[in-house]
A and B are shown apart, each in its own frame.
Chain A
């Protein structure tokens, strides 16, 4: 039984006068992985940045339309963007642990922002988050070393742990593996498959194989418009639209 966790409805977005998303509507199902694919500049990153209200921090950026999280529009006036961002976590393209914080502090920082003072609770949450991110065994002896001393793939899993510590319901991945080697990429992909048991996941990716490997649903964006959305399998084997087929076949992008 499919449950809709998040519904993107008639969403348009601009940077100043330049419209980067045009009336996009996509349902995102609970405990599934949805991939967003499309050539560079098609608006995929902007789309997920609208889901945690990060798009609006850019000066002169504008959003129209709705994003319903459990039926509630996150763009309603009474919604605090800070609360949205706690429920909808994000992992970025470049691993970005805070460079002057230890591994432990990087994961704990979100809890401290939320006013958690109980040291035992912080300790156990951090360790759980690191375990869930598949990093704990590798770093358990150096929790108090700087996070930036880790490898790129480990840094990315650290960033995932940092997000997980806040117990988000939805996790957005913005091309999380584009800066990583194949082995680190495989680990992150395994992790995504593990995480969907308890989270709803949206991943933006350039890598079509990756989309095919990790996602159940795929949305294809082109020039800011949603061309096609459906089961990943059918998008890749029997796309309905010509544009999708051309992209999947590697004719452009």
Chain B
């Protein structure tokens, strides 16, 4: 009896420590990032985030062009992915038969699990040539008067990064949106139908309106993934430290610059500047994730009967 009790207590302690470690890891990581970026903070302060010169030769570091690259490539990804993802989610939750739904859900989670380097490889050798030879010249022909589609079509550029990211975040946004749609209770759907709504009208008034907050959460979660995604983006974005409105221009993101330059960072200030970018990424993705989880949680739990 005494022995059993001891085993229970031991087990409890071990699991408690394990749970604590995960929390400690986050805190330690955060502290480490702050400490390591200290040098850069003392040299550049917050100006770091609004200057775009990134020149290791003269030891001048500013992250604006990477912030710009991260924001634009992620927004581009959302622009492409959100309509497709919501279409997938609506189809799965409202129209697909049970079998098809299960099958497609498995496919979606498989897609989400593919290592990003594979997407990058595909991006370089398949997507980029198609963009360079067909899609970008075509876009230029039609929308060439817009600044977004000017310049030499290069293939490895902001557009490629946006497209790769859109593919990578679609499983996330669609599967979470599907869960959110499915959490809308049956009695709200029936309330809509009982008012004489068609299926589409019912979806609009009962499903979409009710699920809106959770869907925004799913989109923000996708945004977090897009901002943090490193490998595939680094492989296709062209890695140029410039701000250009043209989507055909190579660019760089917060994540890609770290992946690209950590090996060349030979001075303390250079390393510190990279850590500061790391801290920025960490901070932004953690905040986005917390916010997104909160929105999703508050929608899906509210209607649990």
Contact = CB atoms under 8 A, between A and B. Distances in A.
Please say whether chains A and B are actual partners in one complex.
Answer: yes
Contact of A57 (B193, B196, B210): B193
A86 interface: yes
B190 interface: yes
A186 B210 CA distance: 31
Interface stretch (B109-117, B198-206, B257-265): B198-206
A85 B209 contact: no
B205 A83 contact: no
B195 A96 contact: no
Given A92-B191, A113-B201, A98 B209 contact: yes
B188 interface: yes
Chain B contact residues: over half helix, strand or loop, or mixed?
Answer: helix
A110 B196 contact: yes
Interface in A8-59: 52, 54, 57
B191 A98 contact: yes
Contacts of A113: 195-197, 201, 205
A87 B115 CA distance: 56
A83 B198 CA distance: 10
Interface in B254-305: 302-303, 305
B101 interface: no
Contact of A98 (B193, B196, B201, B205): B205
Nearest to B191: A96
A4 interface: no
Contacts of B209: 98, 100-101
Contacts of B206: 98
Contacts of B194: 52, 54, 85, 89-90, 92, 163
Contacts of A94: 187, 305
B212 interface: yes
A82 B187 contact: no
A114 interface: yes
A54 B198 CA distance: 12
Given A92-B187, A92-B190, A109-B205, A99 B195 contact: no
A157 interface: no
A24 to B, nearest CB: 21
A82 B196 CA distance: 4
Interface in A154-182: 159, 162-163, 166
B195 A110 contact: yes
Interface in A89-130: 89-90, 92-94, 96-101, 109-110, 113-114
Contact of B193 (A54, A83, A109): A54
Nearest to A53: B193
B210 A100 contact: yes
Task: Identify which of B198, B213, B303 gathers the most chain A CB atoms within 10 Å of its CB.
Answer: B198
